[in-house]
Structure 1
């Protein structure tokens, strides 16, 4: 027997086997987290075979720790007997400037692909986004992977291309860290920003609103001292370690860079934001703070041997900075957007 799904904007109506059920995950039990982790690992192993797999602890933290200015909905695709063959998470942004936006993560066990499981999960997530009155749904797909064809066939359009780069920490060119920049000084902290720097840090983070986002309907974020503290708490609640190095000058924070070491990570750090405030650009501060961060990682976290970052292809300045440090091309992903009907 079959059940007929109602057509959703951009998604053709089709029949799905009744044996697959989409179940909301209201509570993240240990069993559910284990099943979610297994699907994600299998999906990534198939699509991104060279990428490190998230640990079960990292996945559990992702599912249970609250996000910054957002809330999340989760679904499991289960078969008769309770086996989980697909998962989907929908992040609903709630802050002014981004409350039109939803972000989708969707994985299907490779053995159950092309059987309607992904389409069922997507239709469920799209319906939820419409109920929440979102106008844009974004998701990411590996270049050349099955996610590209999946998105294109279901009405998504490609809105941004990201090049992912890797830096060998041992081989990085950190000479810029020793170059003096008259009128500026370096400061650094771990976790939450010190109170005396919180307002200046928030002002500097607002420069991230100028980052290239292609044709994505990403919106804007407004950073305050309370919000930067909240962001640090989100990461701490996941068990992640946040490192920040910043340049101070002319009575304000001129630029900064952030690195995150995920809970349980023993090899790779993730580059988070790097920004230079417009009035201080053209002085090499971005390269300076990033080179200083490399030195800091070597000294404080010698087990971390590589840093991963991503850059929009048209972010030529930051790509040049990263290449100067020694970052090399690793892989490419695309951001896709589905435009939802609005009332």
Structure 2
């Protein structure tokens, strides 16, 4: 018998179903990312209150009335609403029974209805993730990623202090929480435009346009799930403009997420990525004492960033594939 798939509305679902859905989701996210973005109870409260951001969600059951054993969530990408990002998790005891396939079919149909032309997700290298990727002839692997975790222990913090305190001639380090200060918004946008063109990456996108309006919209989206935004930056002392930045989000969980680190091309190979990331680790530790570690994914072909992470005591946790499916009808 095929599993039962249904849309999932956390605002009206029963307490037991909400607890089951969030438990499967956070367990899956923890397995994939090395740490759930928030405890299941916090996620449930945000979902119930409508504070988890814009998304479409589904649940899978063995049949109507049975417990939820599979979940899916579709969100538009922060940088391009034409690209959907899928998170899909099935409990260990319910895998290989068609729930993942049926959930993905429901997501694809909704993504098309919303005008999306591509669907992306990440899967762990090896089984069962790669088997799931191979289940569709339209999926292609974009990037092989390494998941790194930086434990904020004493030795790591000492290393970060050493790097952050090393003078970078012509630059000064700063940070902010939440929205970028208005005088820095335009230059921060110019830096973020270069996230996709790091040397050596497999899926180089080239610089994208990031004006101040786009920066503000990006800030809103990365914090719409209740996360706190922390940005570390390097400023050119001559212009007092942002030339390098790294971005993290922090929830009430013990693991913070580091997202993008970028340096303007004219300022690369001057140690700025190491310094802003070292300073960021110190700031997260000081501002959020409950955070025990920071995780980040890195394109394994980006040798420069891999070296930066090794120097700051990041550890390899796992490898993942970023995969994409075109949504044109076949």
Q: Given the two structures, how large is their TM-score scaled by the length of structure 1?
A: 0.81
Aligned mate of 1:227, from 192, 198, 214: 214
**Alignment of structure 1 residues 139-218 onto 2, 5 Å:** 139-155=121-137, 156-169=139-152, 170-172=154-156, 173-174=159-160, 175-211=162-198, 214=202
Q: Kindly state the Cα deviation for residue 66 of structure 1 after the two structures are TM-superposed.
A: 6.3
Q: Per the alignment, do residues 62 and 199 of structure 1 end up closer, same or farther by CA in structure 2, a change over 3 Å counting?
A: farther
Structure 1 portions without partners, runs of 5+: 1-16
Q: Secondary structure at the match of 2:55?
A: strand
RMSD value, Cα? 2.9
> What aligned pairs does 1:175-324 form with structure 2 within 5 A after superposition?
175-211=162-198, 214=202, 222-249=209-236, 250-251=238-239, 252-262=241-251, 264-265=252-253, 267-324=254-311
Shift of 1:320: 0.9
Match of 2:4 among 21, 26, 33: 21
The residue aligned with 1:83 is 67
Cα gap change, 1:292 to 1:62, in 2 (>3 Å): farther
1:33 Cα deviation after fit: 3.3
Contact kept? 1:243, 1:260, Cα under 8 Å: yes
Q: Any conservation in 2 of the 1:66–1:234 contact (CA below 8 Å)?
A: no
Shift of 1:40: 2.0
Distance 2:206 2:11 in 1: 30
Q: How does 1:40-119 map to 2 (within 5 A)?
A: 40-43=25-28, 51=35, 54-56=38-40, 57-58=42-43, 61=46, 64-65=50-51, 67=53, 71-78=54-61, 79-93=63-77, 98-119=80-101
What is the number of residues matched between the two proteins? Answer: 317
Query: How far has the Cα of 1:312 moved from its partner?
Result: 0.4
Q: How big is each residue's C-alpha offset from its partner over 1:275-296, in whole Å with a ceiling of 9 and x where there is no partner?
A: 1111111211111111222332
The change in CA–CA distance for 1:311 and 1:338 in structure 2 (over 3 A counts) is same
C-alpha displacement of 1:93: 4.4
Name the TM-score, length of structure 2 as normaliser: 0.84
* Cα shift at 1:135: 3.4
Cα 1:160–1:199 shift into 2, 3 Å: same
Q: Deviations over 1:159-217 (max 9, x none)?
A: 2111011122222222121122232112211111112221221122111131476359x
User: Structure 1 76/158 Cα, relative in aligned 2: closer, same or farther at 3 Å?
Assistant: same
Unaligned runs of 5+ in 2: none
Q: Does 1:39 align with 2:27?
A: no
Distance 1:44 1:247 in 2: 32
Distance of 1:135 and 1:233 partners within structure 2: 23
